[in-house]
Amino acid sequence: MMGKTLQAGFVAGLLALGLGTAPASDVEHFEGLPAETVAEAIEHLNTYTAELVALSEGELGPADMAEVHEVTYTLENALARLDQEYAAVAAALEEVHLASERADTDTVREHTAVYADALDGVMR
């Protein structure tokens, strides 16, 4: 597997040759850093959004565009982690909502606790 610098150089070289407008299927794709936890996702969002903003305010030459391309994978992974977490929060809240319509007090209590725990995990 090529090192990060070599990969960025390769992509930058392709962009410099005018091959940067290739279809998405022809562009090298990366995995990005994983976001195993909410805390890790938030850390990646803070770090790599700042990097993306800094890059976007610069020249945006071929090497910069290669770096932008690579950074977006880590940001997408972080957002996907948060999407998963918020989906669990929303599902728990929906259970509370539906139970309230049925006046099901046991389910309201049970799923309110699930909702609050899930939300707490996201908000930390």
pLDDT per residue over 44-85, tens digit each?
999 999 999 999 999 999 999 999 999 999 999 999 999 999
DSSP annotation string for 44-88: HHHHHHHHHHHHHTS---HHHHHHHHHHHHHHHHHHHHHHHHHHH
- Residue 12, pLDDT above cutoff 60: no
